[in-house]
């Protein structure tokens, strides 16, 4: 297999070094490495990170191939610097059996752009009442380790308890979409000053916080591991911080958009801002950034949620919830965390690669950039600034809130086990 020499890259933001890829692995990291027999990529001070890992992606296949497919989704992932994504289970049919998760896993293998690890549903049909075949999904070729009814909350305390207990048998984790269903009936945006003015159904912070509080206590009680999806409020941060200080085995994620956008944007009634959980206030955004910096929130996950144009080009109430995120995640993290001085690039590698791989047990991903490790890498031009143009997205959908917005940073290269999937910003 061929060799690639990445010359003068700031590995995890450090001093410029050369990185030699030989076949599927990193052969050498050092200065003045020989380029003999290798294709040379002049990094010129760009930042080299381990390939990003997304613990929360919606690939929509099977069932909603008009929004995204495993192929288009993994191409979008490679464009965004990802080498591994976890595909959420809320497909049609739901990924609640070994058969469906194996299908998604195989499509990922075939795509060649990014590894795909299916997430299995916690309950049959995401209906919240009967446990899905968690063990069978784990034992399948897909080797499912993360279970989630994402899109819906596992709201029944007994079912949640049983799921947490059951996955202990094979070291799995339950990823909870924390949303008390009764408190969010008819909810369309964050409950607060803006919802009061706009006359849109309010989605109270406590609907998220009460479930997180319950679930960390359940995890403690049964001695299991719980992961909280897309934290969106300052109160949620406080609960996770408390739980960790108490020794509870909880991890948490935040999306890029919850680090940047607030509910003030809903004043436009533009459904591009309609997302679940909803955009919150400035105070929440600042608390989330701080929590990601101090490690209370472990990882950034995109909640990449592609929707076709017609599902968003309508009035707010009728619009689908969600936004695409794979191709802009790193830029938003640079804007909100790096350029603000809250996190350095080693911190970004930790929150977007090492930790998510650990939580999801993605072996071969989230590894250090050093000799002998799999060559899953991404090269970022951090000096770049430019307007987001969704026309250039690899995702099948364009529902981004950043159209026309200037954001920093651009992924120029991605390597999956030594094979370039993205070269100079273009998919191979």
Per-residue HEC secondary structure of 244-307 comes to HHCCCCEEEEECHHHHHCCHHHHHHCCHHHCCCCCCCCHHHHHHHHHHHHHCCCCEECCCECCC
User: Look-up: residue for tokens 């009764």?
Assistant: 182
For residue 426, what are its two tokens? 């273009």
The verdict on whether 303 is a catalytic residue reads yes
Locate 286 and state its tokens: 């600042």
| Contact status: 199 vs other proteins (CB under 8 A) | yes
Residue 316 sits in the site that holds other proteins (CB under 8 A): yes
40 binds, among Zn ion, other proteins, none (CB under 5 to 8 A by kind): none
Residue 38: C-alpha distances to residues 226, 299, 415 (Å): 45, 35, 15
Neighbours of 324 (CB within 10 A): 29
Question: Which regions of 31-88 does DSSP assign to beta strands (E)?
Answer: 38-42, 47-50, 52-57, 82-87
58 annotated to bind ligand:
yes
Cβ 303 to other proteins, closest distance in Å? Answer: 22
Q: Residue with the closest Cβ to Zn ion?
A: 177
Contact between 197 and other proteins per CB under 8 A: yes
CB atoms within 10 A of CB 145: 22
Residue 150 is a binding residue for Zn ion (CB under 5 A): yes
56 labeled part of a ligand binding site: yes
Residues 209-238, one symbol each (x = binds Zn ion by CB under 5 A, - = not), give --------------------x---------
Distance separating alpha carbons of residues 426 and 422, to the nearest angstrom: 5
CB of 284 to other proteins, least distance (A): 14
Cα Rg of the chain (Å, integer):
20
Q: Is 221 annotated as a binding residue?
A: no
- 319 interacts with other proteins by CB under 8 A: yes
Among positions 10, 177, 307, 413, the unique one binding Zn ion when judged by CB under 5 A: 177
Binding to other proteins by residue 226, rule CB under 8 A? no
Q: Report the interface residues with other proteins, using CB under 8 A.
A: 188, 191-200, 202, 204, 268-269, 310-311, 313-319
The residues annotated as belonging to the active site are 303
Q: Report the interface residues with Zn ion, using CB under 5 A.
A: 150, 177, 229
Report the binding-site residues for Zn(2+): 56, 58, 150, 177, 230, 303
């Amino acid at each position: 297999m061929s060799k690639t020499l990445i010359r003068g890259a700031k590995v995890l933001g450090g001093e410029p070094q050369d990185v030699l890829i030989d076949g599927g692995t990193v052969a050498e990291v050092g200065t003045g490495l020989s380029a003999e027999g290798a294709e040379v990529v002049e990094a010129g001070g760009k930042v080299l990170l381990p390939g990003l890992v997304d613990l929360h992606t919606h690939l929509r296949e099977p069932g909603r191939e008009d929004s995204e497919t495993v192929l288009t989704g993994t191409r979008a992932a490679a464009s965004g610097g990802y080498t591994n994504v976890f595909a959420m289970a809320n497909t049609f049919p739901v990924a609640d059996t070994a058969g469906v998760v194996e299908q998604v896993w195989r499509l990922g293998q075939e795509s060649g752009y990014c590894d795909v690890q299916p997430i299995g549903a916690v309950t049959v049909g995401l209906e919240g009442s009967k446990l899905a075949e968690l063990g069978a999904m784990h034992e399948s070729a897909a080797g499912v380790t993360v279970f989630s009814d994402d899109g819906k909350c596992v709201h029944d305390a007994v079912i949640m308890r049983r799921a947490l207990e059951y996955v202990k048998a094979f070291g799995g984790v339950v990823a909870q979409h924390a949303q008390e269903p009764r408190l969010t009936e008819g909810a369309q945006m964050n409950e607060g000053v803006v919802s009061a003015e706009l006359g849109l159904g309010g989605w109270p912070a406590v609907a998220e916080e009460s479930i997180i509080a319950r679930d960390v206590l359940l995890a403690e009680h049964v001695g299991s591991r719980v992961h909280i999806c897309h934290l969106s409020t300052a109160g949620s941060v406080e609960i996770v911080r408390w739980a960790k200080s108490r020794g509870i085995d909880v991890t948490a994620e935040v999306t890029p958009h919850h680090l940047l956008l607030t509910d003030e944007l809903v004043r436009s009634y533009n459904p591009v801002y309609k997302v679940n959980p909803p955009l919150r206030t400035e105070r929440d955004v600042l608390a989330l950034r701080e929590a990601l910096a101090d490690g209370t929130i472990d990882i950034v996950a995109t909640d990449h949620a592609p929707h076709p144009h017609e599902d968003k080009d309508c009035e707010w109430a009728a619009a689908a919830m969600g936004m695409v995120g794979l191709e802009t995640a790193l830029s938003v993290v640079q804007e909100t965390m790096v350029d603000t001085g809250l996190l350095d690039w080693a911190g970004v590698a930790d929150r977007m690669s090492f930790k998510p791989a650990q939580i999801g047990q993605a072996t071969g991903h989230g590894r250090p950039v050093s000799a002998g490790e799999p060559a899953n890498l991404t090269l970022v031009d951090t000096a770049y600034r430019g307007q987001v143009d969704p026309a250039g997205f690899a995702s099948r959908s364009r529902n981004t809130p950043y159209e026309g917005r200037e954001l920093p940073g651009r992924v120029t290269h991605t390597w999956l086990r030594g094979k370039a999937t993205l070269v100079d910003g273009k998919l191979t």
